[in-house]
Amino acid sequence: MKFRRTFRCISTFWQDEQGQDMVEYSLLLAFIALAAVALLSGIKVQIKGLFSTISSTLSSTNAAAS
């Protein structure tokens, strides 16, 4: 009897899928976050150069207007 009860308990636990979705969504979110970090670190220099160009253009335009 004890063996059947233990087997039934293990079988029920094995078939229970509650919480599986949370793990899958967590893994998907972690993958998206890693992809975003990799993408942004790859274009970091280009973004910095763009802001530098905009800043110098605005400075020279402001100086010419004064």
pLDDT 10s digits, 11-34: 887 777 676 778 888 999 999 999
pLDDT band for 35, please (50, 70, 90 cuts).
very high
- Please state, in angstroms and rounded to a whole number, the distance separating the CA atoms of residues 36 and 42: 10
Residue 43 structure tokens:
């274009």
**C-alpha–C-alpha distance, residues 38 and 59, integer Å:** 32
* Three-state DSSP class for residue 34: helix
How far apart, in whole angstroms, are the C-alpha atoms of residue 20 and residue 26?
A: 10
For residue 52, name the pLDDT band (cuts at 50, 70, 90).
very high
Q: Residue 10 is encoded by which pair of tokens?
A: 């293990």
% of the chain surpassing 70 pLDDT: 92
Whether pTM exceeds 0.75: no
Q: Where are the domains of the chain?
A: 17-65
Distance of CA 14 to the CA centre of its chain: 30
Q: State the average pLDDT over residues 32-61.
A: 92
